[in-house]
Each structure stands twice: as C-alpha cells, then as structure tokens.
Amino acid sequence: MNEESIEQLVNLLHEAGMLASIPRSGFAFLGSGQQSVAEHTYRVIFVAYVLSHLSRLAGRPVKLDRLFLFCLFHDLPEARIGDLNAVQKQYVVPQVDKVLQDFVSQYPIGEEIAQAVHSFENDASLEAMLARDADQIELLLVLKREEELGNPQTQEWIKRVFSRIQTDEGKQLASKVTEVDTSAWWRLFTH
C-alpha cells in the first residue's frame, strides 16, 4: 500500500474519532441523559454480539464479520452530518448518499463502508436485522437507566423502541432489558 493510501486511512481514523465529540441529539427531547455517537456505537457492537449468541442458540447462524461491520459503520456518516433527531429531520435532509459517495472516493476502504451502511439500513438479512435491533436495544438500555433515575417520559420512548425491534432474539433481549435493574450486575459484589 502506498503512502497516500495509508495517509487516507489515518484520516479515516481521525474522522471516526469525531464521533466521540458528537452528542446524540435526541436526549434534549427526553429531558435527561447524554451520550456521544461513539459511546452508542461501542455498545451497539456489544449488543449485536449478545444477539448473535442468542441467534446461534436458536439454530440461526450469524456471519459475525457482516454483523460487526454493519454496527461499526452504521453511524459513521454522522461524523460529517451530525446526529439529526426526528424533529430536525423534518427540516433538514441528511445527505447520507453524498457522504457515502465521498467515502468511496476518499478512502481505500470507502466502498466497504458504504456497502455496510447501505446494508444496515436496507437489507433483510439476519445480520442487518440483528444490527438494527442492536441499535434499538442500545437506546433501550439508556432509557432503562433514565427511567430508574426518575425520568417519566421514558415509558413512551420505550414503547416506540419496542415497535421497531424485528427479530425474536431482539424482542427477547429487549423484554429482559426492561425487567433487570441496571445496577444488578454490580450489586452481586456487595453482599
């Protein structure tokens, strides 16, 4: 690989790092909570792995490389366009296709990124459905915490999240997320 290609990859790494500085904008409407796009992406990947485990237990094998690429790249365009919430999208149309075209022309792995983002948004494959479910369940995990901290608006949001979950594995995990106290994992160490 030539010097220019390596430099382009370094630029991509810096661009991905911008996601740590971009806040998820929907929390302004919820009235509590905060999270960067990078924090969200990290846990989406983690949730996706858990969903893949449940899927394998159900006899539905998952291609982890595809699943992880979908999750890793699904919000990368937000490094350029920001995290537009539902209200903002009524007035501003994000040019995701333009961002993806630019990725293809600017980065040696741009085509792979563009394909992953497109597949995340449009595919009917098990991996794409699990990735979209992971995206929703990560939000559900945040909402569960905000609910425990006393935000009364979370119930309406939780209902909307449940309506977007597609797979049986996702529905099973989401249901359990709403039942388990967010502090349960560490309380095991305090008895």
Domain ranges of the chain: 3-182
| Mean pLDDT to the nearest integer, 114-129 | 97
Q: Report whether 33 contacts 27 (CB < 8 A).
A: yes
pTM of the model: 0.96
| Mean pLDDT to the nearest integer, 124-141 | 98
81-111 tens-digit pLDDT: 999 999 999 999 999 999 999 999 999 999 9
Phi-psi region of 18 (alpha: psi -120 to 50; beta: other; left: phi over 0): alpha
CATH fold for domain 3-182: Hypothetical protein af1432 (1.10.3210)
For residue 36, the cross-strand partners are 23
Dist CA 33 CA 19 (whole Å): 17
- The closest alpha carbon to 134, from 102, 104, 171, belongs to 171
- Using only the alpha carbons of the chain, give its radius of gyration: 18
- The closest alpha carbon to 171, from 144, 132, 145, 142, belongs to 132
pLDDT of residue 101: 98
Dist CA 144 CA 33 (whole Å): 11
Phi-psi region of 31 (alpha: psi -120 to 50; beta: other; left: phi over 0): left
Q: Is the pLDDT of residue 191 over 80?
A: no
